[in-house]
Amino acid sequence: MITCSRNMPESEFLERYWKAQLNKPFSYEEEHVGATASIGSPPDYDHDLNQIILGNGETCFKHAKTALKSWAMFPSDWTRIFPRPIPVEDGEVVVVLFRLFGLWWLNSCRIVYTFDEKHRFGFAYGTLPGHVEQGEECFWIEMDEYGVVWYRIKAFSRPAVLATKIGYPFARHFQRRFVKDSFESIKKFLQKTGP
């Protein structure tokens, strides 16, 4: 069941909603859980890979890693994360709120896996029941052999409910908007934290 509200939901309501999601199963096929970590992607889903250069060097990589740990890649003008702070750890459940068409839409996800390597850091989360989409999304920071720091988003998704099936072109439009705004949000975070 999709949950949305004209006003930003109160913290008590969000707490109850979040707790109700903690033991829910993923809303997509079990064999596809964790598939964003592999080269191939599951059939019958839209596949996206987007990336942007954030800068160069260890300092940029360190700040970008902090941005991901604090969920700063979510554009604050039309998205919210609950609860805050939420650690980037396997199994953690997060409610992602999006403001679209004058309504706040609640979508819950569970972190499927994380990775923290010398020059690579990130995590993927998968959708839970009630999310308007089905699938998985991975956010990561990577510094290549030339010292260039990249922010990447890889996802596979498909509509989960009638509203997103009927409004498929709009859903894809907002997915692209999220990527663009996410890039801007992480760049703003880096500008505030310095070079």
Domain extent listing, the chain = 3-30+48-193
Q: What is the pTM of this model?
A: 0.94
CB 159 within 8 A of CB 132: yes
Residue 55 near residue 143, CB atoms below 8 Å: no
In whole angstroms, what is the distance from residue 32 CA to residue 56 CA? 34
Q: Give the pLDDT score at 195.
A: 57
- Quote the tokens at residue 175: 């997915």
- Taking the chain (195 residues) in runs of 10, the rounded mean pLDDT of each run is 80 95 96 92 94 97 97 95 95 94 92 98 95 96 98 96 85 94 97 79
pLDDT at 6: 82
* CATH code, 3-30+48-193: 3.30.530.20
